[in-house]
Amino acid sequence: MARSMDGLLVVDKPQGPTSHDVVARMRRVLREKAIGHTGTLDPMATGVLLLVLGKATRLAKFLTASDKSYDAVVRLGFATDTADALGQAIGPISESPMPSRGEIDAALDAFRGTFMQRPPAFSAKKIDGQRSYKLARARKDARMKPSRDDGPDPRDLPDPRDPRDLPDPRDPRDLLDPRDLLDPRDPLDPLDPRDPLDPRDLPDPPALPAPASVTTHAIRIVSVDGDQVTLSLDCSAGFYVRSLAHDLGERLGIGGHLAALRRTRTGGFGLDHAITLDAAERDPAGAAAAVVPLAGMLLDVAAIVLTASGVERVTHGRDIDPRDRSMTEPSALSPEPSFQPSVVTPHPIVRLLDPAGNLIAIGRPVGAGGLLHPSVVLV
């Protein structure tokens, strides 16, 4: 445990725990407080979960933007309110014959390439500043909640067949008492604006977050077995496989939801780089040895090697120019990535390495003349 905990750990997340649960357990395993993850996996999902440790937490935003690969099982026949197997069925269960493999593949054409995808209601996207899943859960709870006023007991209603229950105009006790009228000044009056509202009385907020542009580089049908379709896909960051399952079912006219999901790759890191959570907890030293150092991260991003004076400028947050660049090629200092996905960032970024090949900063182009500004300094 003496080695620095600055780097990245690829965990093969099991089914059940949340991504936050995995982070909490690995903090105990590695005795490192500064740990975060770079892309949420639902509790039902398994597979590649990248954890960033120590200084590497400052690189999380670049890893989050990486492409991802998944193996998914879509069950056709009915949709659910969460778009996965953990939700409740919504709408009728289809009694139509299951579509053929060719029909499913043709329907998938609508989701190949770049398109606008609407995230599911139960997602971390925001609607008017609030998490979509919180709004969806509140609406669901409100609909299940019993009414504040279930109405009068039928036994208390007047019986028109019983003359004793009919009002007697000669009896002052049957006249309307003004004190029984609603008093708007009364804080307990249900019409008072200060009275808390029942969530069911409020208009429903937008049911789903706004659509976002996503890209699938490939969607392949692995198998079709009854009502279950196994898919393999490569996609951009921000892509929801649950939405794909739901939308595919809608396009086929029979409904559908995600039955199982396994993430096989994030950026340049796949399951072959991963350590299981159980193995990490059994062998903390082995987990520490599996941490990828800073120099081994973001290998799909261009790099330049700095001179000693360039390193000095970067450590003080100063811009660097071509004179601060060493003649040494980065490939001579660090291994080539086994997979080169596209990295989507608002502006081009460059890895800045010291003469020993250590990653010391992330630079962004500024102005003209080849100037680079160290936007993230790691030393």
More confident residue, 40 or 218: 218
75: closest CA among 91, 97, 98?
98
- At 279-324, the pLDDT tens digits run 999 999 999 999 999 999 998 889 999 999 999 999 999 999 999 9
Q: Which pLDDT value is given to residue 155?
A: 53
Strands 350-353 and 359-365: antiparallel
Assign residue 341 the CATH number of its domain: 2.30.130.10
Q: Is residue 367 part of a domain?
A: yes
Residues 286 and 332 in one domain: no
What average pLDDT does the segment 221-232 reach? 98
Q: Which pLDDT value is given to residue 168?
A: 56
Q: Which one of 296, 316, 334 terminates a domain? A: 296
Residues 11 and 40 in one domain: yes
Q: Is residue 171 part of a domain?
A: no
Residues 311 and 373 in one domain: yes
State the average pLDDT for the chain: 81
Q: Could you tell me the sign of the dihedral formed by the alpha carbons of 270, 273, 279, 285, in that order?
A: negative
What average pLDDT does the segment 10-28 reach? 97
Q: Is residue 43 part of a domain?
A: yes
Residues 331 and 348 in one domain: yes
More confident residue, 269 or 187: 269
Q: Which pLDDT value is given to residue 242?
A: 96
Q: Is residue 313 part of a domain?
A: yes
Residue 52: pLDDT over 70:
yes
Q: Which pLDDT value is given to residue 159?
A: 57
Q: Which pLDDT value is given to residue 181?
A: 43
- At 265-277, the pLDDT tens digits run 999 999 999 999 9
CA distance 258 to 42: 12
Q: Distance between the two ends of the chain, CA-based, in angstroms? A: 21
Q: Is residue 36 part of a domain?
A: yes
Residues 316 and 344 in one domain: yes
Q: Which pLDDT value is given to residue 92?
A: 87
Q: Which one of 296, 314, 337 terminates a domain? A: 296
Residue ranges of E strands in the chain? 7-13, 35-37, 46-53, 68-76, 79-80, 89-90, 113-117, 126-127, 130-131, 212-225, 228-235, 256-266, 269-270, 275-276, 292-293, 303-305, 350-353, 359-365, 372-377
Residues 291 and 311 in one domain: no
Structure tokens at 19: 């991504």
Q: Is residue 28 part of a domain?
A: yes
Residue 365: pLDDT over 70:
yes
139-148, 186-195, 338-347 — which one is most confidently predicted on average?
139-148
Q: Which of 6, 42, 67, 81 is catalytic?
A: 42
Q: Which one of 251, 277, 296 terminates a domain? A: 296
Angle CA(221)–CA(224)–CA(226) in degrees, nearest 5?
155
More confident residue, 301 or 216: 216
Distance of CA 191 to the CA centre of its chain: 41
125: closest CA among 206, 58, 71?
206
If one counts the domains in the chain, the total is 2
Residues 334 and 372 in one domain: yes
Strands 256-266 and 46-53: parallel
- At 108-120, the pLDDT tens digits run 999 999 999 999 8
Residues 350 and 284 in one domain: no
Q: Is residue 215 part of a domain?
A: no
Residues 373 and 307 in one domain: yes
> Where does the pLDDT of residue 83 fall: very low under 50, low under 70, confident under 90, or very high at 90 and above?
very high
Main-chain phi, psi angles of 68, to 5 degrees: -140, 160
Residue 17: pLDDT over 60:
yes
The domain in which residue 26 lies consists of: 7-66+268-296
Q: Which pLDDT value is given to residue 108?
A: 98
What average pLDDT does the segment 191-217 reach? 62
Assign residue 51 the CATH number of its domain: 3.30.2350.10
Q: Is residue 113 part of a domain?
A: no
Residues 310 and 278 in one domain: no
Residues 310 and 373 in one domain: yes
Q: Can 183 be counted among the known catalytic residues?
A: no
Residue 348: pLDDT over 70:
yes
> Where does the pLDDT of residue 39 fall: very low under 50, low under 70, confident under 90, or very high at 90 and above?
confident
Q: Which pLDDT value is given to residue 167?
A: 53
What one-character-per-residue DSSP string does 291-322 give?
PEEGGGS-TTS-EEEBPHHHHHHHHTT--B-G
Q: Which pLDDT value is given to residue 310?
A: 96
Amino acid at 264: T
Residue 33: pLDDT over 60:
yes
Q: Which pLDDT value is given to residue 275?
A: 98
Structure tokens at 206: 């937008």
CA distance 148 to 161: 31
Q: Which pLDDT value is given to residue 158?
A: 53
- At 135-182, the pLDDT tens digits run 445 555 544 444 444 444 555 555 555 555 555 555 544 444 444 444
pTM of structure = 0.76
- Contact predicate 51/11, CB 8 Å: yes
CA distance 77 to 49: 31
Residues 371 and 334 in one domain: yes
